[in-house]
């Protein structure tokens, strides 16, 4: 499975974003409005959140540039960053992929809960990863994955994004197009 991992210097982002997401979670309880699993969109109208989101996306883009030898970003690519939050109040998750919204997917781990990592599945072969805070995982958008939700009081928080390229996914992720310095 093509899954790349890097440890990022995002403490300055995390130290602002995690308290904001946590405050929203407990005060606004967005999970009460959700019937199915989907990510909670980071508030673009908040200038602090927008700046932090843009910083995360730029770190993601820089890593993509270090992983792929060649790629072309689709002119209508959207640099949306979502947060997936779970705890005992919201545990909705499912197997899914991001084939409709990207060619390359990335997940930053902001707040981790022990044994609540992420599972990947390719052709019936499953791989479990126990991420650590400040790690970024990059993988093909058509790779099925399942974020294991927190079932305790503790919040599990990740920030997810996609990059849409004009390249066909098989060509983009061909071993000849990948640099190997981040591959797990």
How much is the pLDDT for 43? 60
Within a domain: 39: yes
Per-residue pLDDT, 40: 52
Flag whether 68 is in a domain: yes
Please check whether residue 183 lies inside any domain of the structure.
no
- Give domain status of residue 118, yes or no: yes
- Which helix (DSSP H) or strand (DSSP E) does residue 25 occupy? helix 11-28
For the chain, list the strands marked E by DSSP.
4-7, 40-41, 81-86, 104-111, 118-122, 125-129, 135-140, 144-147, 156-163
Name the stretches of the chain with pLDDT < 70: 34-45, 181-184
CATH code of 73's domain? 2.60.120.620
pLDDT of residue 37: 44
169: in domain? yes
Boundaries of domain holding 168: 4-177
Q: How many domains does the chain have?
A: 1
Q: What local confidence, expressed as pLDDT, does residue 176 receive?
A: 93
182 belongs to a structural domain: no
pLDDT tens, position by position, 89-105: 888 889 999 999 999 99
Q: What is the pLDDT of residue 33?
A: 73
Please give the pLDDT value at position 35.
54
């Amino acid at each position: 499975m093509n899954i790349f991992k890097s440890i990022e210097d995002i403490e300055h982002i995390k130290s602002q974003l995690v308290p904001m997401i946590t405050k929203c979670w407990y005060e606004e309880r967005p999970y009460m409005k959700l019937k199915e699993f989907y990510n909670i969109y980071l508030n673009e109208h908040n200038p602090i959140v927008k700046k932090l989101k843009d910083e995360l996306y730029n770190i993601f883009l820089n890593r993509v540039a270090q992983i792929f030898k060649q790629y072309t970003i689709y002119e209508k690519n959207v640099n949306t960053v979502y947060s997936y939050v779970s705890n005992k109040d919201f545990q909705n998750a499912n197997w899914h992929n991001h084939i409709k919204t990207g060619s390359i997917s990335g997940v930053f781990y902001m707040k981790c809960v022990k044994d609540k990592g992420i599972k990947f599945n390719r052709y019936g072969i499953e791989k479990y990863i126990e991420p650590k805070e400040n790690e970024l995982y990059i993988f093909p958008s058509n790779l099925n994955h399942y974020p294991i939700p927190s079932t305790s009081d503790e919040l599990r928080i990740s920030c997810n994004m996609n990059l849409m390229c004009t390249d066909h996914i098989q060509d983009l992720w061909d071993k000849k197009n990948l640099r190997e310095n981040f591959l797990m």
